[in-house]
Amino acid sequence: MHNPFAEVIDESTDSKLIEQARNGSREALEKLILRHQAWIYNIAVRMVFHPEDAEEVTQEVLIKAITRLSTFQGESQFRTWLYRITTNHVLNMKRRGGERDPQTFSSYAAAINDTPDLDLPDPNTVPVDVPLLIEEAKISCTTGMLLCLDRTQRLIFTLGEIFGTSDRVGSEIMEMSVDNFRQCLSRARRDLYQFMHGQCGLVNSQNPCRCPKKTKGFINAGHVDPERLQFASEHLQQVKSLAAGTVRSIESALDEQYSAIFLEHPFLEPKDSITWLRRLLDQVEFKNGLHLN
């Protein structure tokens, strides 16, 4: 899969598709969007938590990008132009999804601690394998931790730590200095990893919190739905396999241990992405008088 956040990037394919799309090729526009759609969606998931809300955010970003494509003059890299639209949107959008109930690290810890430790569900009573439920609990919990960061920290952490975006590329997308990007990422790491060190058994064996112990409690509380998993799947690729071409220095071995948890998260794909993309193009074409063929 095309990785738009690599330090060195060949945008010749994007450039060809942009030119063809400007000349009215709907097929080229579809291909251009599909090269970036999943990356925008994965940013959105980490901003709002719920995949359904993330799909809505992704569509809003893509509508802006499609309707403004004629204004792209090549004065910057296309990835800079597109992901600036993305970052500006997610930093200024209305609250939705997991953001509707703002969390602090203190309130999040209290919610986890208030979830009772229970035995795992009987495998005969759930529709999926129990290890998959444990994985769903782990990913849900650690993704939810990101909501304790403010939006800017969350976005910079997603770009810099999860996607491995270099300080230079990240600063261009965020429209800030390299030093500022690096410092914001360092603060986000510090706040998140301090919380994990004091709370999460995945990184500190002295912590009592364990995903298997919390899984049934998360199910009972409605945070994990065995009938409809949001994150865990046996068929999804991990973020680290798709972001392998990015350059990111890890500050310490301990940071690398924490970072690995997020790099092992699945790289999610929007459901029926081609179907809703084509529906989106129909909508944009109708509202904006575009003529695609």
So where are the chain's domains? 8-101+269-293, 102-226+232-267
pLDDT confidence band for 234 (50 / 70 / 90): confident
Kindly state the average pLDDT of the residues 119-148. Answer: 96
Summarised one tens digit per residue, pLDDT across range 54-111 is 999 999 999 999 999 989 988 889 999 999 999 999 999 999 999 999 999 999 999 9
So what's the pLDDT on residue 244? 66
- Token reading at 85: 């639209």
DSSP one-letter string for the chain: ---TT-SS---HHHHHHHHHHHTT-HHHHHHHHHHHHHHHHHHHHHHH--HHHHHHHHHHHHHHHHHHGGG--SSS-HHHHHHHHHHHHHHHSPP-GGGGS---HHHHHHHHHHSPP-PPPPGGGSSS-HHHHHHHHHHHHHHHHGGGS-HHHHHHHIIIIIS---HHHHHHHHTS-HHHHHHHHHHHHHHHHHHHHHHBTTT-TT--B-HHHHHHHHHHTTSS-TTS-SS--SSPPBHHHHSTT-----S-HHHHHHHHHHHTSB----TTHHHHHHHHHHHHHHHHT----
pLDDT over 70 at 290, yes or no: no
Q: Which residue did the predictor score with more confidence, 286 or 54? A: 54
Kindly state the average pLDDT of the residues 150-175. Answer: 96
Least confident of 8-12, 138-142, 214-218, 278-282: 278-282
Does the predicted TM-score (pTM) go above 0.95? no
Summarised one tens digit per residue, pLDDT across range 172-213 is 999 999 999 999 999 999 999 999 999 999 999 899 889 999
Q: Pick the most confident of 60-74, 134-148, 230-244.
A: 134-148
- Token reading at 284: 């944009």
So what's the pLDDT on residue 273? 76
So what's the pLDDT on residue 291? 53
Integer Cα distance of 279 and 269 in angstroms: 17
Least Cα distance to 20 among 32, 2, 37 occurs for 32
Kindly state the average pLDDT of the residues 262-278. Answer: 86
So what's the pLDDT on residue 24? 87
Q: Which residue did the predictor score with more confidence, 228 or 253? A: 228
Integer Cα distance of 231 and 84 in angstroms: 26
Which top CATH class is 8-101+269-293?
A: mainly alpha
